[in-house]
A and B are shown apart, each in its own frame.
Chain A
Amino acid sequence: MKNRKFLTAVIAVMLSCALAACGGQTGTQQTTIAAAAEAAAETAASAQITAEEVTKAAAEETVAENAEAKTEASEEASEAGGASAESSAAGEVSGPVTITDMLGREITLEQPATRVVALTPSDCEILFAIGAGDTLVGRGEYCDYPAAVLDIPAVQSGAETNIEEILALEPQLLIMSAMSQTEEQAAQLEAAGVQVVISDAQDIAGVYTAIEMIGKLMGRDESAAEVIDNMKAIFAEIEEKSTGDGSKTIYFEVSPLEYGLYTAGAHTFMDEVANMLGVKNCFADVEGWGAISEEQVLKRNPDYIMTITMYYGEGPTPEEEILGRAGWENVTAVKNKAILNLVDNELSRPAPRLADGARKLYDFVYGEDAE
């Protein structure tokens, strides 16, 4: 009697597992796990073959040093690439692309990518900045800039990254960061035939590298270079115009008092921009992002406060909330009402908009007429 009950329970559990597997988030395709795995294995195999052919061709080319051989090789490669031949019109450059991603892995695409999924908001921004936004077939759920990105299907990212969901979008290329994604996820995706590229900028120089890398992958080297030059120009201009000598201090508030203060310390984009402006980050002794003591903010008495807290239209605005904090009335920034609320993540994402953020911070510190 007991055994039978147990057996039924086991069968019920197995059945529900099977149901869950089939009804998984592959979306409209309605493939079973088994079918999906088969398909994945096939694509993986074919991807391996094409990669081998490409490298073979490249080897022949160097030995022969023959211009004809080169074009033949590239033709072969594009044939191996199959359907991507006609899409080369969209990109500026066609033909094989080799880059080193930001984990130092060498990656070769036989053609600039035409179906891309980007999990990190900053990579979406870069793609749009270099004019390759139309190649995006999927985005991480937190990607929200520019507005056009919201029309692209969202996939779960981070620890809950849904591999099935991504595979269902049939991308050739997936761009993700090393910080919020895992090696296992990358391995799984690559086994399923999706080329994974790691974009992991830690500073502004890293952002240039990322833009250049993504530009190459999309066959848009020139647009990428333009974006980078534009950023550099803005930064140079701001740096030149800034008259600060580091005597004024700024406090970056990442999380408001209600939920425990959090700031951006040394080696963050905010810190880098502050240095550019000749303003000292008053928590430069904190490495990276960290929870900090309220007392320390009062003691360090910043001249400026920048907060990235969102305002949802109820209660006091983030500026008002800071101005109304008990005990903060003696802080210079509060006395002078020198508080900036940047809500669009301009200074927290390794993306081209860092330049916009830097300009806004410059305007805030030196006044708009100084420009």
Chain B
Amino acid sequence: MRSRSGRFSFIEFVIFVAVTFAVFCLCVCIGSVSIPLTDTLSVIWDGVRYHLGRLGMAVIQVVSGSGAEAVGGAGTVPGGVSATVESTGAVISGGNGVLASWLAAKPEGLQASIILSVRLPRVLCVAMTGAALALAGGAMQGLLKNPLADGSTLGVSSGAALGAVIAIAFGVRFPGLPFAGTMVMAILFAFLSLVLILTLAYRLDYSLATNTIILIGVIFSMFVSSLMNIIVTFAADRIQHITFWTMGSLQGASYQNALVLLGVLMLCGGMILRRAQELNAFAIGEDNARHIGVDVRRVKLVILIMVSGLIGVCVSIGGSIGFVGLVTPHIVRMLVGPNHRRLLPASLFGGAVFLMLADLAARTLLNPIELPIGVVTSLVGAVVFVVIFYRSRRRS
């Protein structure tokens, strides 16, 4: 099955996309409030048509508007200008009329609200958060040659959460960008924690043995959680929701969040995917990577920054959701092998599928009560973690 190039074949790619899309559809169709499948689809279809129509009108307006300006700027006779304005106005209304006749009105009502405003943005955010966390986990497991490495086991997520909590407690804000403060602080703290943990780990044990680094991660997580408690004691009125930062929730995720996630996935995720070959070298051994000509220091820095970016954004949007980044690359590795050219894109899809299903369970199992998504991922993840650890111990 494994092609010699180590890349996905077209068929494999199609299969992954299809599975992910199927799970996505499933998650949009099933929810706390049950809505018939046909209604769900028609609401989405109407929504798409409505927004396409608005986009189309905007384009027409911009085009005709700029045309009118150009004519107005060139023309010297006032009568001519008014004539052109009138004619462009006619064009606009004509265009609008044509569009309006084909496009649906804005979907209204309970079902439209639930599907378009609540479920769809949430599932989108969940899918991309899962993809980002799994990619970050896969990259770290390769970079550190450590199958137990992940944002949650290394304490990077806790670090990011600490950054977010500090941003809220001390009111770190950027004017005009309401959630940029927490996000930037989360990314910054994710990176700082990574650097701190790895420096400590290298000092203790150059080979970055599995146990050392996990131990340091656990200690660091404890340390961070105590820091977080201290901050919460000082700013109790501002941070009532400490569980959000420890358990995570994607309730109330918006399209803006989805857009931010998409951006960070394209940027950081793309950078990581481009380093697949270097990650392969790291996964075989850092010294070996250096010997075959990988610029170890630079690649490591780039990967760590990108991983921090992914984890920081995910934590600032959904809190720290554990185990996704740990478990997904493992399951995926069993399917497609350890080659990062296949592993990373497959983790991307796998993480999306895993977190979407976990979120589905969190949303619907105890209806109308909602479980924190972190509880579901931890439940599944902890079991898999033990299995992995057991197997790796037994092997060595």
Contacts and interface: CB of A to CB of B under 8 A. Distances in A.
Interface of A: 141-142, 255, 257-261, 283, 285-286, 290-296, 298-299, 301, 310, 312, 314-315, 325-330
Contacts of A292: 368-370
Contacts of A258: 241, 244, 252
B320 interface: no
A330 B244 contact: no
A296 B178 contact: no
B338 to A, nearest CB: 37
B238 to A, nearest CB: 6
B113 interface: yes
Interface in B213-236: 233, 236
B26 to A, nearest CB: 16
The winner among A142, A296, A312, A314 for most chain B CB atoms within 10 A is A296
5 contacts: A260-B252, A260-B370, A292-B370, A293-B31, A326-B254
A7 to B, nearest CB: 22
B368 A260 contact: no
A296 B369 CA distance: 9
Given A286-B369, A298-B33, A315-B178, A310 B114 contact: no
A270 B252 CA distance: 24
A293 B367 contact: yes
Nearest to A329: B113
A298 B241 contact: no
Given A286-B369, A293-B370, A299-B114, A259 B108 contact: no
Interface stretch (B11-19, B115-123, B321-329): B115-123
A290 B236 contact: no
B252 A294 contact: yes
Contact of A327 (B117, B251, B363): B117
Contacts of B121: 326
Nearest to B250: A260
A330 B252 contact: no
A312 B252 contact: no
A83 B178 CA distance: 59
Contact of A296 (B32, B173, B249): B32
Given A259-B240, A260-B251, A290-B369, 17 more contacts: A257-B252, A259-B244, A283-B368, A293-B31, A293-B251, A293-B369, A295-B31, A298-B110, A298-B113, A299-B32, A310-B240, A312-B238, A314-B171, A315-B178, A326-B117, A326-B118, A327-B113
A286 B178 contact: no
Interface residues of B, number: 36
Interface string B140-171: 00000000000000000000000000000001
Contacts of A257: 251-252
Contacts of A295: 31-33, 114, 118-119, 363
B36 interface: no
Given A259-B249, A330-B113, A294 B118 contact: yes
Contacts of B78: none
Contacts of A327: 113-114, 116-118
A77 B368 CA distance: 57
- The interface residues of chain B, by DSSP majority, are classed as loop
Nearest to B173: A314
A285 B369 CA distance: 10
Q: Is the interface of A mostly helix, strand, loop or mixed?
A: loop
Nearest to A293: B32
B368 A312 contact: no
Contacts of B371: 291
Interface in B236-260: 236-238, 240-241, 243-244, 249, 251-252, 254-255
A310 B368 CA distance: 25
Contacts of A291: 369-372
Interface string B104-142: 000011100110111101000000000000000000000
A293 B34 CA distance: 12
Contacts of A142: 236
A290 B32 CA distance: 15
A261 B369 contact: no
Contacts of A326: 117-118, 121, 254-255
Nearest to A255: B241
Contacts of A283: 368
Contacts of B237: 310, 312
A291 B237 CA distance: 20
Contacts of B116: 327
A310 B168 CA distance: 14
B351 to A, nearest CB: 21
Contacts of A328: 113, 117
B244 A260 contact: yes
A294 B113 CA distance: 11
B35 to A, nearest CB: 9
Nearest to B256: A326
A329 B112 CA distance: 11
A255 B240 contact: yes
A9 B240 CA distance: 40
A326 B122 CA distance: 12
A147 to B, nearest CB: 15
A298 B115 CA distance: 11
A301 B367 contact: no
Interface in B304-340: none
Nearest to B367: A293
For B33, B121, B243, B363, which residue has the most chain A Cβ atoms within 10 angstroms? B33
Contacts of B240: 255, 259, 310
Contacts of B32: 293, 295-296, 299
A142 B237 CA distance: 10
Given A291-B371, A293-B370, A329-B113, A298 B118 contact: yes
Q: Which 5 A-B pairs have the closest CB atoms?
A: A327-B117, A259-B241, A257-B252, A293-B32, A260-B249
Nearest to A310: B237
Nearest to A262: B241
Contacts of B117: 325-328
Nearest to B369: A290
A236 B313 CA distance: 52
A330 B108 CA distance: 8
A332 B110 CA distance: 11
